[in-house]
Amino acid sequence: MERILTLHADQGDQPRLAVARERGAYDGLRKALGLTRHQIIAEVTASGLRGRGGAGFPTGRKWDFIRPQPGQPVYLLCNADESEPGTFKDRYLMERDPHLVLEGLCIAAYAIGAHDVFVYLRGEYASVGSILAAALAEAGEAGILGATLLDSPYELRINLQLGAGAYICGEETGLISSLEGKRGYPRVRPPFPAVHGFGQQPTVVNNVETLANLPWIILHGGEAFATLGTERSTGTKLISVCGAVNRPGVYEVEMGYPLRDFLAREAGGILDGRALKALIPGGTSVPILTAREAEDVTLDFESMQHAGTMLGSGGMIVFDQTVAMPGALATIANFYAHESCGECTPCREGTGWFAWIIARVLAGEGRPNDLEQLLRICANVEGRTICGLGDAAVQPVRSFITKFRAEFEALLPADQDTRPDWQRHGHGPRAARHGPLGQEAAWAEPVAGPSSARL
C-alpha cells in the first residue's frame, strides 16, 4: 500500500534534518515555491484532500475562502491541540517526523500567503513541542526555514504555542481565542475565521495530519493522491487504535480499508482473543458502533456516515465483552462536562446534567425515567450550541443508551415512587455536579455488566 505520512516515521532517526533531507524532506516545499499559489490550491483541490481533524472539510475549499484586502495580514494556524479522547496520531507524526509537518506547514502558508504561522500544541504535548522546536532550529540553521523559505524571498515566521489544558481549544475559533490570550471561548459564525479570524484577520486553521499530506501532493500531484482511497475520501488516513486490542498504536491505512481487516491485522485482534463488543471509530465525539454494525464498515468518510457514525479524528477506541457500557459512558460524560467551556447555555448545562444523571444511574440511584430524560436532553442540546462540543457530547450519550439500553435499564429501579421528580429526594453522588468537576469523579470498574440485548 502507498504510504504518504508514515513512510519514514518508523525509522528512529527521521527527526534529524540531515537524515530527513536524504529521504527527500523539503523537496515538496522546493517544488511548491516554484509554483504559484493558485497552482498549489488547484493541486490540493484536485487531490480531494479533506481535513483530518474530524470534520473532514475540503482543504482546498478552505484555502480558497481567503481573500485578504490589500495590505491585510493572513494567518495560518496549525491545530496541534490533539485532545480528542483516543486520538494520538498527530503526536505520532510530530514526534517521529517533525520535518514532514513543518514542510507541509510551509507549503500551506505559502499557498495562502501567510507570513506568520502559529502551531498550537496542547499543553500536555510540551515534550512534543521541544522536538518540533529542535527540528525548527535545525532547519533554521540549515537555511531552510530561516528568515525566508529556502532560497526564495518568501518570509515566514513559525511560532510554537503551548496550550494549558482545555479540550475546547481544539475547536478552531476556541483555538483562536486562546491564542489571543483570552478564555478559549468559541465564537459565533458568521463571521468565519477566513474573514475575521486571529486578531480579526483572515485565518486558516489546519490539522497536523492534513498539513503532512501536502508535500506528497505537491511532489506527486493531486491527481495521484485522488487515485488513492475512495471517490469522496481520497488518500490515506492515520488511525490511532487503542483499548482492547493486542497492538494499540498508530497505523496508516488507505481510505476504504475494511475495518474488520484493520482490527484483525494492524490492531492484532481483540485483547486476549476476547470478542469485540463495540468500538468508537473516530474519537468519543462520534456515535459508537456495535460489533455487528462494525462488521462491514470500511475506513472512510462515506462508509462511516452510512453506518450512522463518523470517521472523525481516526481515534479508534475498542471495547471487548468485559467492558460495561454505563461506566464507559459515565467516563465520557464526565469528560464533556469537565471540558465544556461554559460559554453557551445548552452545552454548559446539558453536559453537566448528562454527567449528573449518568452518575446517579451508575450509583444505582437513578430514576425510572432517567433514560428518556437523557434522550430528551440530547435533543435540547444538539444543534443549539455555538460550537460542535454540544453535538459531540450528545453522540456518545444517545448512541450508548439506544444501542446498549438493557445494560442501563438493569441499573434502574422499578418505579414505585409516584411523586413528581422535583419532590423526590436523595439522588446519587454530588461529584458530578459539585465542586470543580472531575477530581472527585467516582470510578466505576469496567467489570462485565449484563450483556446487551443486541449482542
Distances (CA, A) of 120 to 108, 159, 315: 16, 9, 20
Contact residue for another protein among 161, 305, 321, 451 (CB under 8 A): 161
Contact residue for another protein among 36, 345, 413, 448 (CB under 8 A): 345
| 308 binds another protein, rule: CB under 8 A | no
Instruction: Choose between 28 and 86: whose C-beta lies nearer to another protein.
Output: 86
| 183 binds another protein, rule: CB under 8 A | yes
Start-to-end CA distance of the chain, whole Å, equals: 34
C-alpha cell at 349: 448545562
Angle 291-296-302 from CA coordinates, rounded to 5°: 110
Site for another protein in 217-256 (CB under 8 A): 240-244, 248-250
Edge-to-edge strand ranges of the sheet holding 276-280: 249-254, 236-243, 315-320, 276-280, 289-290
Angle 280-284-285 from CA coordinates, rounded to 5°: 115
Contact residue for another protein among 199, 308, 364, 413 (CB under 8 A): 199
From 104-112, 138-146, 184-192, 403-411, give the range in contact with another protein by CB under 8 A: 184-192
| 71 binds another protein, rule: CB under 8 A | no
CB of 220 to another protein, least distance (A): 30
> Taking CB under 8 A as the rule, which mask of x and - marks residues 397-436 in contact with another protein?
-----------------------xxx-xx-x-----xxxx
Q: Which residues in 144-183 are b (16+ Cβ under 10 Å) and which e?
A: bbeeebbeeeeebebebbbbeebbbbbbbbbbbbbbeeee
Burial of 241 (0-12, 13-18, 19+ CB in 10 A): buried
Site for another protein in 280-299 (CB under 8 A): 280, 284
| 385 binds another protein, rule: CB under 8 A | yes
Instruction: Choose between 81 and 103: whose C-beta lies nearer to another protein.
Output: 81
| 351 binds another protein, rule: CB under 8 A | yes
Measured CA to CA, the distance from residue 171 to residue 432 in angstroms comes to: 24
Contact residue for another protein among 63, 262, 301, 319 (CB under 8 A): 319
CB of 340 to another protein, least distance (A): 4
Instruction: Choose between 107 and 381: whose C-beta lies nearer to another protein.
Output: 381
- Residue 433 C-alpha from the chain's centroid: 27
CB of 348 to another protein, least distance (A): 5
Site for another protein in 86-115 (CB under 8 A): 86-88, 91
Q: Closest Cα to residue 365, out of 354, 373, 356, 374? A: 356
Taken in order 406, 411, 412, 416, the sign of the CA dihedral is: positive
| 313 binds another protein, rule: CB under 8 A | no
| 125 binds another protein, rule: CB under 8 A | yes
Distances (CA, A) of 238 to 54, 116, 251, 294: 12, 28, 6, 18
Contact residue for another protein among 164, 264, 410, 448 (CB under 8 A): 164
Contact residue for another protein among 103, 116, 254, 300 (CB under 8 A): 116
C-alpha cell at 260: 474488520
Site for another protein in 14-53 (CB under 8 A): none
Instruction: Choose between 32 and 145: whose C-beta lies nearer to another protein.
Output: 145
CB atoms near residue 292 (< 10 Å): 12
Measured CA to CA, the distance from residue 445 to residue 196 in angstroms comes to: 47
Q: Is residue 335 helix, strand or coil?
A: helix
Contact residue for another protein among 311, 386, 394, 397 (CB under 8 A): 386
| 383 binds another protein, rule: CB under 8 A | yes
| 343 binds another protein, rule: CB under 8 A | yes
From 10-18, 32-40, 402-410, 438-446, give the range in contact with another protein by CB under 8 A: 438-446
| 352 binds another protein, rule: CB under 8 A | yes
From 131-139, 229-237, 301-309, 378-386, give the range in contact with another protein by CB under 8 A: 378-386
C-alpha cell at 136: 525548527
Site for another protein in 140-159 (CB under 8 A): 157, 159
232 within 8 A of 207, measured Cβ to Cβ: no
